[in-house]
A and B are shown apart, each in its own frame.
Chain A
């Protein structure tokens, strides 16, 4: 070991003012850095949405709409959305793991924005979702899906999907900060996210649903998402469904960001 004077040599009174967003970026980069050590993770990120898309399209699609090609054209993109929606659980599990392992103890005792510690995890997960969307979307295209809305419509649909995933991830941040075990987070996913997905217009047209479920499907945020994606992909004129989706996203963020920050303070620092 070298002597202390090297230790004293470097000035460590850094004055660069890095705000919460820059700190979030550092934290996001940290979550993504593990990919370099385990590149196989890149496959993990898209396996579940890919399998959901392929299995539903090929095994059930024909029965639901006559031919799997028709089903893919109608529900392919929204089923990809559903697969990615289930993947937001990774945010909860990741935060839970960080806190359990003690990584967050040091970070919490540092002058770092609490928002950045949470947003960093979500930011990194968004990059993973975007990657999965690219791969699974590519597969859908390869097996015959075509968007009438063209490149612009596809980009807009991907944009609203990612926006929704970002908002919904904050619910999982709260879950990760308040859960007592990893199993609990998994249970929440099965009992909350799945029913939400199945009572929306992801698979089916709203008119085919029984009365009470129709009402549920209409107020379901996933219906707003599915309808918005379809409008853009089909090259239609965006209207109420897109406004409803933006409203949902704003509401979820407005409620769950403060709740998550409060849960964070309760868990660490209180």
Chain B
């Protein structure tokens, strides 16, 4: 088996809305595939198809070599799923939630309790074991949710936006868990809106927009395609911004933008940033500030598609049939 997850030409419509127009994905066993895209891009629908919850209109999806539509029962034996909305019973305690899942998966009462305690310990939830999950904080609920999806260690784990809405510390904690699972041999498919998250975790990334994969490759390939980092320059006098754009474009072969008086220059590496800064210094333009940042998802989209992720979203809401 070459791929633990292999998806070809997936299409799915809900009434007039085409959630998936054409999605191809592949993840080698024991790797992390990051599916990056804005809200409404089709990420959740793709995950639901791969985890046997939604039947596609066209195309095929294989998980561990098994067709998810014809061999759904076998697929369910071997996957774990953490959906975008917590799949927990808010009225049950953290422990009861995990015990229930273990029991449904065939554990004896004793085995279920052992496994639940082990996971609560592992996810820093032992102190809240008997508290109702509905009373957990956002970060705790996400951790419990992830714990629930690995009660029986899955061979393939689907995580649909596991860190959306989390603070940086909780996010880092979840990343650590994902890395451990992968080290133990699990294949992970993770959807995210954060470029940094995909960069941190994924061996390969597929960028998805309006139900289509618009770019894929390793994080470094993708970053090269979008210019790696961005240099932001704020001139002391706003009217100097246009001049800065010119200078930057002369210094390195790139398309710079003036965004409300801040000049944004995609750069491939620190050397290019230095070259731009040198040019600006020679021209004697005073800067109020400058900085080197990771490009945001928005900037990735702008580079890859020529439109902004959020604007794209608005358009789609207005014209679902388009």
Contacts and interface: CB of A to CB of B under 8 A. Distances in A.
B118 A7 contact: yes
B87 A105 contact: yes
B151 interface: yes
Contacts of B124: 1
Nearest to B154: A12
Contacts of B123: 1
Contacts of B84: 102
Nearest to B97: A30
Interface string B79-103: 1011111111111110010001111
B87 A16 contact: no
B106 A38 contact: no
A78 B183 CA distance: 63
A269 B77 CA distance: 15
Interface string B129-170: 000100000000000000011011100000000000000000
Contacts of B180: 4, 7
Interface stretch (A108-116, A154-162, A180-188, A248-256): A108-116
Nearest to A270: B55
B92 A33 contact: yes
A267 to B, nearest CB: 10
Given A14-B111, A16-B107, A7 B184 contact: yes
Interface in B41-98: 51-55, 72-73, 76-77, 79, 81-93, 96
A14 B152 contact: yes
A109 B52 contact: yes
Given A12-B152, A102-B85, A268-B53, A112 B104 contact: yes
A6 interface: yes
Given A8-B184, A12-B151, A106-B148, A1 B105 contact: no
B184 A103 contact: no
Interface residues of B, number: 53
A26 interface: yes
A102 B111 CA distance: 26
B76 A111 contact: yes
Interface in A68-117: 101-112, 116
A107 B180 CA distance: 24
Contacts of A27: 100, 104
Interface in A9-36: 9-10, 12-18, 23, 26-27, 29-30, 33-34
Nearest to A106: B87
Nearest to B72: A269
A18 B103 contact: yes
A104 B53 CA distance: 10
Contacts of A108: 52-53
Contacts of A13: 152
B92 A6 contact: no
B11 to A, nearest CB: 15
Given A17-B106, A18-B106, 11 more contacts: A4-B184, A12-B151, A13-B152, A14-B107, A14-B111, A15-B106, A30-B89, A33-B96, A34-B89, A38-B91, A103-B88
Interface of B: 51-55, 72-73, 76-77, 79, 81-93, 96, 100-108, 111, 114-115, 118, 121-124, 132, 148-149, 151-153, 173, 176-177, 180, 183-184
Shortest beta-carbon contacts, A-B, top 10: A106-B87, A34-B91, A102-B85, A14-B106, A109-B81, A14-B107, A4-B180, A111-B76, A12-B152, A16-B106
